[in-house]
Structure 1
Amino acid sequence: MRIYRCSNGLCNTSGRQIRAEREKCGLSQEQLAAKVQLNGLNLNQKSISRIETGERIVTDYELIQFAKALDVTVYNLLNIREP
């Protein structure tokens, strides 16, 4: 599968917002990884780091689990106004 990067060189558009929301919740990357693991998503701290820095893509089902773990909407993580 070919991975396309945004014009800014990142593999995702949600990583920065995931980091901001994680920090707002006072969670470490390790703690966020544990929360999503409890929901059945097998991610570790290294994966969270790579997502936040834009080095790794984020799938739709991962984005949903991040939203649940951080108690925000997917729209928020994509930095889009809700319709």
Structure 2
Amino acid sequence: MFKIKAPDGTNNLCGKNVKRLRENYNPPLSQRALAKKLQLAGYDVDNHFIRRVELGERFVTDIEIKMLAECFQVSTDALLR
């Protein structure tokens, strides 16, 4: 069965950008701190969600892309580049 994958074989295009944005945040955020920030914004995620996204193990929905972009105050395009 054919599965859709990013050119690098991962399950999403945004994982590396999420990690970069998280690490370059001022002050840098741990995966747990990012999950907490998203929870405070009303999203039901945990640090395992962040880890799996960053490693490319998890598909990311359009709603999650929007959520992450809002959290980092960047465009959705910035996450997908």
TM-score normalised over the length of structure 1: 0.85
Alignment identity in percent?
36
Partner of 1:47: 49
- Aligned-pair CA distance for 1:75: 0.9
Give CA deviations for 1:2-37 in whole Å, capped at 9, x if unaligned. 852223210000000011001010111011101111
Mapping of residues 1-83 of structure 1, within 5 Å: 4-25=4-25, 26-79=28-81
- Give distance in 2, aligned partners of 1:57 and 1:34: 21
Q: Which amino acid aligns with 1:23?
A: E
Structure 2 unaligned runs (5+)? none
Q: Secondary structure at the match of 1:47?
A: helix
* Alignment RMSD (CA, Å): 1.4
Q: Which amino acid aligns with 2:45?
A: L
Q: Work out the number of aligned pairs and report it.
A: 78
Q: Secondary structure at the match of 2:69?
A: helix
- Give distance in 2, aligned partners of 1:71 and 1:7: 26
Structure 1 unaligned runs (5+)? none
TM-score normalised over the length of structure 2: 0.87
The 4+ residue runs of structure 1 with deviation greater than 3 A are: none
